[in-house]
Amino acid sequence: MQFTPVLRAEALKVRTLRSLYGTLLAVFAVTTAFSALAGVSETSDPDFDPLFTALSGVLPGQIAAIAFGALVVSSEYHGNGIRLSLAAVPQRGRWFAAKLTVVAVPALVVGLVTAFAALVAARSGLGPAADGLTAGEQVRGVVGCGIYFMLIALFAAGLTTLFRSGVATLSTLIPFILVVSFVIGDTAGGAADFLPDKAGQIVLYQTHDGSLGPWTGLAVTALWAAAALLAGAWRLRRRDA
């Protein structure tokens, strides 16, 4: 079977699952709302970074992006739907590529729209405090935010394929991001920049003094996502549906 009809079939699955629309809506709503709230917060902190403040809604919003990536894949394992999918598309690599495409494209598009809306909402509250942001920094923040949402969703999709369970992925990633990453970040110094979430979030800062830059940070997150996807592909090929 050619790739195009496989992609259409996978896209149809996404369009027919209302829960997936809910997670994408949550990405937009949560990120924009928290960024808007951050925009009216105190800006006298010496470590105040206007770009990160404007896009800080990404921190809670990424949970919804993780849920989206996990749900797209885990829906296949409900009622052994994966058996039907692989019976229709015996080429497992082709099926997996189509599945990842329907994760990546919506996550990227929603991420870009969300980042722009969050920046606009927060800037209206920040007022003169955000005047130092250049157009290039704002474009970098919006584009980088969209890419980050896509990568974190793909990371979740890869782990879900490896674990064959969305619950296992959510139980692993969400505590890691909410708890472990912060604890390690407070004790490991510069090494924390290489964690999957913290590396990608460097692009959200106007300035950063660590060993990674905005785009190299995203590259590190991409490597984490690639590792999860390769592990998931290995599990998919090695185990019977």
pLDDT digits (tens, 9 = 90+) for 89-102: 889 999 999 999 99
pLDDT at 185: 62
pLDDT at 134: 93
Q: End-to-end CA distance of the chain, in Å?
A: 19
Please choose, from the candidates 45, 15, 5, 35, the residue with its C-alpha nearest in 3D space to the C-alpha of residue 145.
35
pLDDT(240) > 70: no
Distance of CA 19 to the CA centre of its chain: 17
pLDDT digits (tens, 9 = 90+) for 224-235: 999 999 999 999
Give the mean model confidence (pLDDT) for residues 213-228. 96
Cα(98)–Cα(4) distance, rounded to whole angstroms? 8
Q: What is the mean pLDDT of the chain?
A: 90
239: region left, alpha or beta (phi > 0 left; psi from -120 to 50 alpha)? beta
70-84, 171-185, 186-200: which is most confident: 70-84
pLDDT digits (tens, 9 = 90+) for 138-170: 999 999 999 999 999 999 999 999 999 999 999
Cα(80)–Cα(103) distance, rounded to whole angstroms? 20
| Rg for the chain, CA atoms, rounded | 19
Confidence of residue 46 (pLDDT cuts 50, 70, 90): low
Global pTM reads 0.93
pLDDT at 7: 93
pLDDT(83) > 70: yes
Please choose, from the candidates 92, 83, 87, 227, the residue with its C-alpha nearest in 3D space to the C-alpha of residue 158.
227
pLDDT at 225: 98
Cα(234)–Cα(211) distance, rounded to whole angstroms? 32
> Which residues make Cβ contacts (< 8 Å) with residue 227, sequence separation at least 6?
158
pLDDT digits (tens, 9 = 90+) for 54-75: 999 999 999 999 999 999 999 9
Give the Cβ contact number of residue 190 at 10 Å.
10
Distance of CA 70 to the CA centre of its chain: 11
Cα(167)–Cα(170) distance, rounded to whole angstroms? 5
pLDDT at 238: 85
